Amino acid sequence: MEQNSREKEIAKLVSKVIGDYDGGKNIDATDIFNKPDRNEIIDIVNNLFFVMYPGYFKDRTYKTYNLRNELAVMIEDIFYRLNKQVFVALDFCKLGGSMTEDARKEESYRICSTFIEKIPQIREYVESDLLATYDGDPAASSFEEIILAYPGIIAITTYRLAHELYLLNVPVIPRLMTEFAHSRTGIDIHPGATIGKHFFIDHGTGIVVGETSIIGENVKIYQGVTIGALSTRGGQKLAGKKRHPTIEDNVVIYAGASILGGETTIGRNSVIGGNTFITSSVPADTRVSIKNPEMEYYTSGKKHVKEEIKQDEAWFYVI
C-alpha cells in the first residue's frame, strides 16, 4: 500500500514538471530535431583538426593505408555532416526563419562549399600561428609538442575555423565551436573577432577576446588577458557596434592586463605590462606598466628590508 502511494506521489510530481513545459518560456523547446546538435558540432571540430594537422590526430572510423585517401573521405564526411547542421542553424537567424526549406538547402550547400574551399587559406594562417608559438616560446621543444599539447594552438585553430563560418553568417555553430575550445583550454575567443597572422597565446588560461576585437599581426598575449567591452549595460542595443579594442601589429600584452572599449587602440610595437587596466588609446611604440610597487621583507615577524623594484625608464599608464 505504501509503495503504491509513493508511485502516485512521484507520478504527480513528474506530471507537474511536464506541465510546466506548456508555459511558453524561452527555455521550452521540446522539438529535438530543429536545432544544431552540440555533440555533432564537437565531433566535426575534432575531425577538422585531423584535416588541419594531417598525421597528428588519428581517426578510428576509417581504415586505410593511404593518408590522402583517408583525408578525402574525411573531408567529404565533414561536408555532409556540416551541411546538415548549417541547414538547421539557418532557421535560427535573426531574419526570423523566413527562408523557405529549399532556400535553406541551397544556402547551406553554398556555405559549406565556400568553407571547405577556404581550408587551405585557414591552414596558411594556422601555420603562421604555429611558427609564432615556436619562435616566441623557448620552452617549446618541437612543432609536434605545440600541436599536440599547447592549449593556445587548440583555441586559435578552432577560432580560425569558426571565424570563417561566422563570416558566412552561420548562426549558433561558430559559437558552439569556440565555446568547445573554451571549455577545453580556458581561452575564450569569440568567433567574430578579427585576428591577423602570427598570433601567439602563451599559457592562455583566462584569456578573453570579445566579438568586435581587431587584432593585427605578430601579436602575443599571456594568460588572464581581457580584450573586452568597457560596458555592456546597453544589452542588445549594443549588438553590431564596435565594443572591443583594436590591437595593432607587433604588440605584446602581459598576464592579467585588461584592455577595454571599442574606441581603445593599442598602437603598433607597444608593450602592455601585467595587471594594467586600460580604457583609452595607447600610442605606437609605447611601454605601459603599473606604478612601481614596493617589496617588504619580514624575518621572525619583524620588518627586515624594504626595497623598491627598479624598472626601465618608460612611459607609464599609471593606475
Query: What's the DSSP call for residue 156?
Result: H
Residue 272 pLDDT > 80: yes
CB atoms within 10 A of CB 49: 17
In the block, residue with C-alpha cell 587548440: 154
Q: Are 188 and 152 in contact (CB under 8 A)?
A: no
Radius of gyration of the chain from its Cα atoms, rounded to whole angstroms: 25
3-state secondary structure of 98: coil
Residue-wise pLDDT for 55-92, tens only, equals 877 666 666 667 788 889 899 999 999 999 999 999 87
CB atoms within 10 A of CB 62: 12
Cell digits of residue 313: 625608464
Give the integer Cα–Cα distance in Å for 114 and 47: 18
Give the integer Cα–Cα distance in Å for 228 and 259: 6
Residue 312 pLDDT > 80: no
Where does the pLDDT of residue 27 fall: very low under 50, low under 70, confident under 90, or very high at 90 and above?
confident
Residue-wise pLDDT for 134-179, tens only, equals 999 999 999 999 999 999 999 999 999 999 999 999 999 999 999 9
The arithmetic mean of pLDDT across residues 220-248, rounded, is: 86
For the chain, give the percent of residues with pLDDT over 70.
Answer: 86
DSSP E strand stretches across 53-193: 188-189
Give the integer Cα–Cα distance in Å for 215 and 244: 10
Residue-wise pLDDT for 288-307, tens only, equals 998 877 777 777 767 655 54
Give the integer Cα–Cα distance in Å for 33 and 30: 9
Cell digits of residue 193: 573577432
Give backbone dihedrals phi and psi of 252, rounded to 5 degrees, phi first.
Answer: -115, 130
Give the residue from 159, 146, 162 showing the smallest Cα distance to 187.
Answer: 159
Give the integer Cα–Cα distance in Å for 229 and 235: 12
Give backbone dihedrals phi and psi of 53, rounded to 5 degrees, phi first.
Answer: -125, 70
Residue-wise pLDDT for 115-133, tens only, equals 999 999 999 999 999 999 9
Give the global pTM.
Answer: 0.86
What is the predicted pLDDT for the residue at 315?
A: 45
217 Cβ contact partners less than 8 Å away, ≥ 6 residues apart: 196, 197, 198, 199, 249, 250
